[in-house]
Amino acid sequence: MTEKAMPVSLKGVTSTNDDPSRCVICSEPFAVGLYQRVSALNACCGKRACIDCSRKPGAFYVQSKDCCVLCHTSGVRTSIGLVKKKAKQGHAWAQTLLGRCFFIGGAVKESNHEALRWFRKAAASGHPFAAVMVGQMLLQGDGCERNLSSARAHFGRTISLDENVAGTARELLVNVAVSYQESREFDTAITILAPLAELGVNHARHNLGIAYSNNGDVSSALDIYGQTASEGLVEEPAAFDSLIMCRSIGNMWPQARFWLSMGTKNLRSLLSSCGDPKRVLGVIVGVRTGLREIRDQCGGCGAALQGDMRKKCGGCKTFCYCNRDCQKAHWNRSKDGHREECKEVMELRRKVKDARKESKSGNK
């Protein structure tokens, strides 16, 4: 048999806390684990309480987190009339809660149009969650016409409103940028993704590389992917994109060899994430064939090499030579650019190795 909530005396207790990101009782912020540390949003007052305060014996103890810790009003489903009343009175928390009810259905009949109407009202009052929902519905065209520009504005505003939902808003901004890419508006996508990439949003950096590549700026795309790889965060699709770019340029064989090794470490994952497996295998076979042809001739003089005649570059491990004189000639020949590219690949490989070591030591 379920124990009923203990009656609470509120004599001498005052609460003027209207901040949904703080506990109504102890006023401490829900900075970490917001949805794990708080009870449900109360339909009577729009306030939240942390679990510790809501279950404190002899003070604000309640058995069910679907009841208000202050007045024991029941949950949303049985208090939808109260929520509507508070929403019409202009309370942003109630407008957001009502919008959510219309969005998911259950307590009221599901309606994207009504959900958007109430979310807009709450967002106009500065409610961060409502602003996110308005942006998401504009992005997807739920209950309205799709509007990428307006969705972008709502997500951007949310980031400055509340850090608790800023991470979600940043991820959704990446989706806005991807939609601009699909419309071939690459400059706009880059404008959105560049600041997010600087903040370390890995999803943004991967898509920024794609945007640069589609916009013809291969050098910037490879720089972005290289930065991601040096932090140990490279994904198979990013490695494959880099491999295609190196192959298209034609003379970036040391980088092509590096990205080939990164992309094929988990070939099964690469084949499942890059669409057409035949295309992926075709690119891989083409690059491997090109690397084999390079190793069969001296990078310095162009003479054919066989077996023990090959002396491999100690840095990039890509080019082979007849002797040390040919290696020096190739290294110092500025038109080949081997010196700069070899150093870049060596540095990139070192950073990846360091990142992996750090990751392993952190997991122990």
CA distance 54 to 50: 6
Q: What is the pLDDT of residue 120?
A: 92
Q: Please list, residue by residue across 92-129, b when 16 or more beta carbons sit within 10 angstroms of its beta carbon and e when fewer do.
A: bbbbbbbbbbbbeeebbeebeebbbbbbbbbbeeebbb
Q: What is the pLDDT of residue 232?
A: 67
- Does residue 65 surpass a pLDDT of 60? no
**pTM metric for this prediction:** 0.64
C-alpha dihedral, 84 to 85 to 87 to 89, nearest 10°: 160
Structure confidence by residue, pLDDT tens digits, 168-199: 888 889 999 999 988 899 999 999 998 888 88
Confidence band (pLDDT; 50, 70, 90) for 54? low
Q: What is the pLDDT of residue 364?
A: 56
Q: Which of 39-48, 117-126, 271-280 has the highest mean pLDDT?
A: 117-126
Q: Say which residue, 63 or 151, is predicted with more confidence.
A: 151
Q: Which of 5-9, 31-35, 187-191, 309-313 has the lowest mean pLDDT?
A: 5-9
Q: Say which residue, 250 or 147, is predicted with more confidence.
A: 147
Q: What is the pLDDT of residue 313?
A: 86
CA distance 302 to 66: 78
Backbone angles phi, psi at 136, to 5 degrees: -65, -40
How many residues in the chain?
364
Reported as half-sphere exposure (CB side, CA atoms, 13 A), residue 231 has a value of: 11
Overall average pLDDT of the 227-232 stretch:
73
What SS3 state is found at 13? coil
Structure confidence by residue, pLDDT tens digits, 313-349: 888 888 888 888 888 888 888 887 888 888 888 888 8
CA distance 124 to 129: 12
Overall average pLDDT of the 187-216 stretch:
84
Structure confidence by residue, pLDDT tens digits, 72-119: 555 544 477 877 888 888 888 888 888 888 888 877 888 999 999 999
Overall average pLDDT of the 132-160 stretch:
88
Look over the chain and give the mean of its residue pLDDT values, rounded to a whole number.
76
Q: Which of 16-25, 135-144, 293-302 has the lowest mean pLDDT?
A: 16-25
Q: What is the pLDDT of residue 354?
A: 79
Question: Chain centroid to CA 320: how far?
Answer: 41
Structure confidence by residue, pLDDT tens digits, 348-363: 888 887 777 776 666 5
- Does residue 257 surpass a pLDDT of 70? yes
Q: What is the pLDDT of residue 121?
A: 92
CA angle 139, 145, 146 (to 5 degrees): 25
Q: What is the pLDDT of residue 148?
A: 92
What share of the chain has pLDDT > 90, as a percent? 7
Q: Count other C-beta atoms under 10 Å from residue 158's C-beta.
A: 27
Q: Are 89 and 34 in contact (CB under 8 A)?
A: no
Q: Count other C-beta atoms under 10 Å from residue 139's C-beta.
A: 21
Overall average pLDDT of the 276-298 stretch:
85
Q: What are the C-alpha distances in Å from 193 to residues 46, 223, 252?
A: 35, 15, 26
Q: What is the pLDDT of residue 362?
A: 63
Q: Say which residue, 212 or 48, is predicted with more confidence.
A: 212
Please name every residue paired with 321 in a beta bridge, in sequence order, or none if there are none.
311
What share of the chain has pLDDT > 70, as a percent? 73
Structure confidence by residue, pLDDT tens digits, 9-20: 333 333 334 555
Q: Which helix (H) or strand (E) holds 88?
A: helix 80-88
Confidence band (pLDDT; 50, 70, 90) for 8? very low
Q: What is the pLDDT of residue 182?
A: 87
